[in-house]
Amino acid sequence: MAHPFPSFDRTLKPNATPRKGLRTALALFAGLAIAPAAQGKQVVHYETSAEAGTVVIDAARRRLFFVLGDGRAIAYPVGVPRHGAEWSGETSVSGKYVRPDWEPPSSVKVEEPALPDLVRGGAPNNPMGARAITLYRSEIAIHGSTQRMRASIGGAVSHGCIRMYNEDVIDLFNRVHVGTPVLMLP
């Protein structure tokens, strides 16, 4: 079976949307509401014995913590594995991919046979989203989401992966490296 992640990185095309400040000003002028940034990552008080730079996934709290040290961490809301796909323990980052292609694992294809055999990176239906951070666990990654999947962040929804908002997985992607320790708490 082919590995679900390519062995190469893709580069992102420059973002064609207006800068955040301009977008905010235009939205305020138009009387539109802007979603609060608190929806995504937050720096929080977090006591742990894990070293700074460790990723701790707390499945029960549906949060991923990037440990900063000194009792602080960046907390991100995540979607976690659903009942029957849970896992826990220690692992580490095995790879980092920008807008990767996705090949549904055989277990996913059994449940959803209509899925294509390959979804190209950047496609609107690619569940890997903007980034994928693979782990030294069979077919498991911390990854972004499609527009449709965003509503599932905070739920127990995946086949084993950790699902994040695209803007949050990009932030985490820039903080971790191959070998970064990852701890999954039940």
Going by their DSSP bridges, the two strands 80-81 and 156-158 should be labelled as parallel
Question: 89 is written with which tokens?
Answer: 């323990």
Catalytic pick among 45, 83, 161, 177: 161
Reply yes or no on whether 159 is catalytic: no
Please tell me which residue in 3, 45, 83, 143 is annotated as part of the active site. Answer: 143
- Spatial contact of 183 and 54, defined as CB atoms under 8 Å apart: yes
What number of other Cβ atoms are within 10 A of residue 73's Cβ? 25
Q: In the structure encoding, which two tokens stand for residue 106, read together?
A: 């055989």
d(CA 56, CA 185): 7
Nearest to 180 by CA among 62, 51, 70: 51
Any catalytic annotation for residue 161? yes
Q: Active-site residues: which are they?
A: 143, 161
